[in-house]
Amino acid sequence: MKKEISHIKEDILKKDSVKIALAGNPNVGKSTIFNALTGLKQHTGNWTGKTVENAQGTFKNNGTTYLLTDTPGTYSLESYSEEESVTRSFLLCGDIEKTIVVCDASKLSRTLKLFLEILQITPKAILCVNLIDEAEKDGISVDITKLSRLLGVKTIATDARRKRGISDLKNALSEENACALEIKYSDKTEEMISRVCNLLDDCGVPKRYVATELLKGNSYIVEKISNLEQIRREVSDLMKKEGISCTEIRDETSRAISVLSKEICDQVIIKKEKKRCITTEKIDSVLAGRIFSVPCMLLFLCLIFYITVTFANYPSAFLSDLFVRAENFLYSCISKTSTPVWINDMLLKGAFRTLGWVVSVMLPPMAIFFPLFTLLEDWGYLPRIAFNLDRCFKKCSSCGKQSLTMCMGFGCNASGVMGARIINTRRERLLAIITNSFVPCNGKFPTMITLITIFFVGAYANNILVALILSGIIIICVLTTLLMTKLLSLTLLKGEKSSFILELPPYRRPQIGKTLVRSLLDRTLLVLSRAIIVSIPAGIIIWCLSNIYIGDVSVIMHISELLDPVGRFFGLDGVLLLAFILGLPANEIVLPIALMAYTSSSSLTESADMLTTHSLLVNNGWTYVTAICFIIFSLFHSPCLTTLLTVKKETGSIRWMLVSALLPTLFGLTLCALVNFIF
Amino acid sequence: MIRLSELEKNEECRIVRIFAEDKVRLRLHSLGFIEGERIKRVRVSVLGDPVMYEIDGTYVALRCEEAFLIGIERI
């Protein structure tokens, strides 16, 4: 009986778990805190009405279940970027019981400012001073007890990487605390604030905050106000009378926050000795320096591809073997039932085989590429790439952060498109999204490597030469991306380039084990699941086309014959053109479809080895020109269906989706026609 | 008063005035670019722009356009 009651209690608790939010500047180890608190009990969800995905996780402490929501890293709650307004509106409208604000102990005065801002919205906040170990290394120690007393809130020191202080942080959540720290402005401003306060009705947000925002001229707060028209008039009258502009108020508030933050820090920070962070400076003098930065970038690029290409082979072979066995096993099972043979064939030789193909070709490179990429990200190298390359993008009226979305695009264009959220203005984000498919994704590499090997290197060549040629191709793709960005910003996406203000965080030793797990879970599986969703219907369609006959010839042959003159014009042939069309759901299956059509078989077949593939292609009229045209077109054609759907979701318009499909296709076709014409 | 974009390498100075407006002004404020703050030019990018500055214990990269909007005085 007692046990039952406790079970019921647990269920009730689960239902109304305590909602808490996690906020903090970028690069203060916010996600490490999030992971340390929630472990692997995480999922991404959407905030109502917002498209920005955010991580949520649950954890239990002393019998209470907490639902923790991560917010994007922001410097302040002012409306500079989408992330900032998202964080702000989440804190304003969400029914959050507590907010944990993460600060960096070694940069306390700058990271404390966000906390002070958040205190104006909600007094129920907990300060988490993270990276205490890093600060100790720099000779900085923080008097946490004093800081807690000065702020009047619970303050916890943590080193999330070693899980120091995490249990204290959990315990602090159940403690009652409310802070009454107010930021004092000049007498004149204070008087204006109190006057506006008197006009306001109760709206669930501290009146003082609403009044300050109104005086600053920020309009996002207006939905909270009932008698808006009247108040607006009063506010503007007041400001006219006092002769103060919104900008002046803004300057005053941000200066007041900085001053207060500095004052507090002066009292709590004890510097043992003036040690400077030498490591970051030294690494930067190489990786962001004038001589070695470009060679190092190229080296990293080559290295990542070399590792991916070399080590993906073995798991790929293993997986495809596994799928062949599973298919045989399932076939023997299903053939015992009374379903018609054609249904069995369609499901297994069509849908299942295509699925197996996509998974075994796509999963291993992704499972290697993304963790490597995340390691560089965790280390702190990625902002340096943006720093090194920003000038190129500035010339194209874009932003250096686009180079990061391009890097992600090498893994998967859909991820790259999603990654464009880090770019602040809509125009530059669109530029990054539309041009993303000009960098080849992992799905195109197997095809490319096969063709490079059999036509340009020779079947028994070493991987290094292939990796070098591949890197050359990639550099061409990067240059094309820049060209297209310029072209778009001159035509469809005209506009002024925005600012480039980027913080370069210190290098930190990446947490290798966690990175592997998280990037596998977050990026790889996400992309893979989407690929699976599109590859099954594609498999069925391909199977139907190659198994429905009109006369003695399958539909697929009929169509490819029709397309043949068009294909020849572009240096390809009908089969290849059709393969590209059918391969739209997933780039991995373009070459397999072509091989299937050449051998007139009824389902996707694995080629025995490179030599057989070579002779098969040559027998079907392939020359070096065909190979070049095929490589060009497989680099520059419409991105896969997953990417297109992501573009639609991210831009919210079918028009931009069509542009991002047509632009690379037209470019690729033109290039192919030129190559075919010249040679 | 000179502009931040005129600063030489490893030179340190103090911010006197921010000329930027609206969003850029907000972002500069929140990254610690406030009147009276000390700032040092650390390193220029391989292509000559942007430039990395050290302010308030961190490195921040600014394009020359943004650096021009910050008025400074040498110490």
- What pLDDT score was predicted for residue A4? 41
Residue A112 clears pLDDT 60, i.e. is over it: yes
Q: Please, which pLDDT band fits residue B38 given cuts at 50, 70 and 90? A: very high
Dihedrals φ, ψ of B12, to 5°?
-115, 150
Q: What does the alpha-carbon distance between residue B5 and residue A435 come to, in Å, rounded to a whole number?
A: 32
Q: What does the alpha-carbon distance between residue A57 and residue A71 come to, in Å, rounded to a whole number?
A: 12
**Would you call B63 and A80 a contact, using CB atoms and an 8 Å cutoff?**
no
CB A32 within 8 A of CB A40: no
Q: Which segment of A361-370, A451-460, A489-498, A554-563 scores lowest on mean pLDDT?
A: A451-460
Q: Please, which pLDDT band fits residue A233 given cuts at 50, 70 and 90? A: confident
Q: A296 or A607, which is more confident? A: A296
**Would you call A254 and B26 a contact, using CB atoms and an 8 Å cutoff?**
yes
Q: Is A631 exposed, middle or buried (0-12, 13-18, 19+ CB in 10 A)?
A: buried
Residue A2 clears pLDDT 50, i.e. is over it: no
Local structure of A197: helix, strand or coil: helix
How many other C-beta atoms can be found within 10 angstroms of the C-beta atom of residue A584?
18
**Would you call A500 and B61 a contact, using CB atoms and an 8 Å cutoff?**
yes
Average pLDDT over residues A244-250: 87
Residue A222 clears pLDDT 70, i.e. is over it: no
Q: In the numeric block, which tokens belong to residue A148?
A: 């807690």
DSSP state letter for B48: S
Q: Specify the DSSP element, H or E, that contains A142.
A: strand A140-142
State the angle between helix axes of A246-268 and A108-121 in degrees (0 to 180), rounded to the nearest 10.
120
Residue A242 clears pLDDT 60, i.e. is over it: yes
Q: Is B9 exposed, middle or buried (0-12, 13-18, 19+ CB in 10 A)?
A: exposed
How many other C-beta atoms can be found within 10 angstroms of the C-beta atom of residue A162?
11
CB A232 within 8 A of CB A87: no
Rounded to the nearest angstrom, the gap between the alpha carbon of residue A343 and the centroid of all alpha carbons in its chain is 39
Average pLDDT over residues A595-619: 77
Q: Is A179 exposed, middle or buried (0-12, 13-18, 19+ CB in 10 A)?
A: middle
Q: Is A388 on the interface with B (CB under 8 A)?
A: yes
CB A630 within 8 A of CB A570: no
Local structure of B17: helix, strand or coil: strand
Local structure of A71: helix, strand or coil: coil
Residue A195 clears pLDDT 60, i.e. is over it: yes
Going across the sheet that includes B12-18, the strands are A501-504, B58-62, B51-55, B38-44, B12-18, B70-74, B2-3
- What pLDDT score was predicted for residue B22? 80
Q: Is B48 on the interface with A (CB under 8 A)?
A: yes
Q: Which segment of A139-148, A407-416, A559-568, A670-679 scores lowest on mean pLDDT?
A: A407-416
Q: Which segment of A402-411, A460-469, A494-503 scores lowest on mean pLDDT?
A: A460-469
The tens digit of pLDDT for each residue in A393-436 reads: 999 989 888 998 998 888 889 888 988 888 878 899 999 999 99
Q: Please, which pLDDT band fits residue A1 given cuts at 50, 70 and 90? A: very low
Q: Is B27 on the interface with A (CB under 8 A)?
A: yes
Q: Specify the DSSP element, H or E, that contains A567.
A: helix A555-569
User: Could you tell me where the DSSP H helices lie in A157-277?
Assistant: 166-173, 187-199, 207-216, 228-242, 246-268
**Would you call B27 and A502 a contact, using CB atoms and an 8 Å cutoff?**
no
Q: Please, which pLDDT band fits residue A483 given cuts at 50, 70 and 90? A: very high
- What pLDDT score was predicted for residue A13? 45
Q: CA of A237 to nearest chain B CA: how many angstroms apart?
A: 22
Q: Please, which pLDDT band fits residue A94 given cuts at 50, 70 and 90? A: low
Number of H helices, E strands in chain B: 2, 6
- What pLDDT score was predicted for residue A46? 40
> What was the ipTM of the complex prediction?
0.95
In chain B, residues with a C-beta closer than 8 Å to the C-beta of A500 are: 50, 61-63, 66
Q: Is B64 on the interface with A (CB under 8 A)?
A: no
The tens digit of pLDDT for each residue in A499-520 reads: 888 889 888 888 888 777 877 7
The tens digit of pLDDT for each residue in A530-546 reads: 777 878 888 888 888 88
Q: Is A592 on the interface with B (CB under 8 A)?
A: no
Q: A528 or A614, which is more confident? A: A614
Q: A622 or A459, which is more confident? A: A622
Q: Please, which pLDDT band fits residue A277 given cuts at 50, 70 and 90? A: low
Q: Please, which pLDDT band fits residue A292 given cuts at 50, 70 and 90? A: very high
Mean pLDDT of chain A: 84
**Would you call A390 and B49 a contact, using CB atoms and an 8 Å cutoff?**
yes
The tens digit of pLDDT for each residue in B21-37 reads: 888 888 898 888 988 89
Residue of B75, B6, B1 whose CA lies nearest to B41: B6
- What pLDDT score was predicted for residue B72? 93
Q: Kindly compute the dihedral angle of the four CA atoms of residues A547, A551, A556, A558, in this order, to the nearest 10 degrees.
A: 180
**Residue to test with chain B: of A84, A85, A384, A501, most B Cβ within 10 A:** A501
The CATH number given to B2-74 is 2.30.30.90
CB A382 within 8 A of CB A407: yes
- What pLDDT score was predicted for residue A205? 81
Local structure of A205: helix, strand or coil: coil
The tens digit of pLDDT for each residue in A618-632 reads: 888 888 899 999 999
Cross-chain CB nearest to B66 (options A391, A499, A506): A499
CB A632 within 8 A of CB A675: yes
Q: What does the alpha-carbon distance between residue A599 and residue A603 come to, in Å, rounded to a whole number?
A: 10
Cross-chain CB nearest to B56 (options A110, A387, A391): A110
DSSP state letter for A42: E
Q: Which segment of A121-135, A196-210, A312-326 scores lowest on mean pLDDT?
A: A196-210
What are the boundaries of each domain within chain A? 10-173, 187-244, 293-678
Q: Percentage of chain A surpassing pLDDT 90?
A: 22
What are the boundaries of each domain within chain B? 2-74
- What pLDDT score was predicted for residue A6? 42
The tens digit of pLDDT for each residue in A27-76 reads: 888 888 888 888 766 655 443 333 455 678 888 888 888 988 888 888 88
DSSP state letter for A157: E
- What pLDDT score was predicted for residue A181? 79
- What pLDDT score was predicted for residue A306? 83
CB A466 within 8 A of CB A309: yes
The class of domain A10-173 in CATH terms is alpha beta
Q: In the numeric block, which tokens belong to residue A385?
A: 């790439």
**Would you call B35 and A502 a contact, using CB atoms and an 8 Å cutoff?**
no
Q: A620 or A180, which is more confident? A: A620
